[in-house]
Chains A and B, each alone.
Chain A
Amino acid sequence: MLRNVCIQLKNGLPKSYSTSTSSPASSELAALEPRKLLFPSNYKKPRQVWLESLDTIDERKLTILELHPEIFAANPRIDLIHQNIKWQQNYRYVSYAHTKSRFEVRGGGRKPWPQKGLGKARHGSIRSPLFRGGGVVHGPKSPTPHFYMLPFYIRIHGLTSALSIKLAQDDLHIVDSLEIPSEDTSYIDELIKSRLWGPSVLLVDSVDIMPRNITAATDTIKHVNLMPAYGLNVYSMLKHDTLVLTRGAVDLIEEKLLGHLHKNDSRAVEAKYKLNQV
């Protein structure tokens, strides 16, 4: 969903998010630097969170990070989250339920019995909806697509609401990277248990090529999933109990969402998708 949301920004960005090139030593140092917030707010204080590391089973705190209040302390609009989730469930759903009307059901062209003289009710067809085996009135027809687009800023505010709720309910954790020392499944199991995460955990990185160990360790655990930041969406955030973002992912998510919340050409960009244009 974030990918849909960020299509305009994508072309303008010089860096590529699909490969990890930096060496672990330099990235660890970079992760410890204090964050510089884009579009700092005059009225709201930044939220502070611990930067953790996945390299030990027990929680190891590295430093404190500041998160942008417009993204991580936004108004938790449950209704917008609901709308986002309904949209995500519906836009790709095509109903294949199908029924036949009285004219599509085989037979029934002949008047079953004379109009008068039998003392029976008058009927013109044995496939009338009154008959057993007759057609269905106003029944479902296949295929029925349920596609629609949610307005752009409802999608944006759905994301900020979901992130804010996750942080407020202590279900959001920031880690320096997704590097873990072993590719053993039990390592990640124990880590989640010892840190009181989950049970279901969504791990989000800024790039879509994840470190080998985490990929191997989470491969067989169905409720621990990996996701690149461009795939982050409201449904997955609520589907999983705990959301784990890498610092790179936090930077990327903030940059994209703040970019959309603060751009001044949104009217022109949205205009062409507007219905009922004069």
Chain B
Amino acid sequence: MASKQPTRDVITLKGSAAIVSEFLCYSVNSILFQRGVYPADEFGRVKKYGMTLLMCQQERVKAFIDTITQQIATWLETGTLQRVVMVIASMSTKEVLERWNFNIENDNEVIEKGVTREKSDKDIMTEIQAIMRQIAASVTFLPNIEEACTFDLLAYTSVDSEVPAEWAESDARLIHNPQVVKLRSIDTMVHQVEAMVAYKFTEEL
């Protein structure tokens, strides 16, 4: 297979969708670990993107993320996904504490005409690594999460796309008076993903 070679330059729509959805899956897991949403002992180490990442091993969380990842891949292939947002909200008050934004820009030409793009795997991996490191480093500036929290994933799709049966419309679950930190972006030449985190800003006491 071509994957034996150091670089695989041709990127198809399907391949790009796979890369991006997989990246989102790892990002979500990484955020769950770094922000301590679930206990650290529920995470297992996985080698990926040339670094060690932590993946949630709890069955229900895994199933939830996997289902969504699959749906995201489908949407990416049709070019209808505009944004994926991971929301971390307090369990007791339901207040949204953090919003991790992944904005996706689709390349129309690829989706409509089926042309392919070129970019080396290594470059994409470097970009993904950078975001993963930024997620890990984000704990230094994000406020401490002091209470039990849950997370949720929101998908922004275009209005003309169909709503799958298991999905429901939701509100944006925005944060009041947020602080926003832009993270790096990845670009597969088909999908461009810009990451960003918004968090609830509390004034000094």
* Chain B binds chain A: no
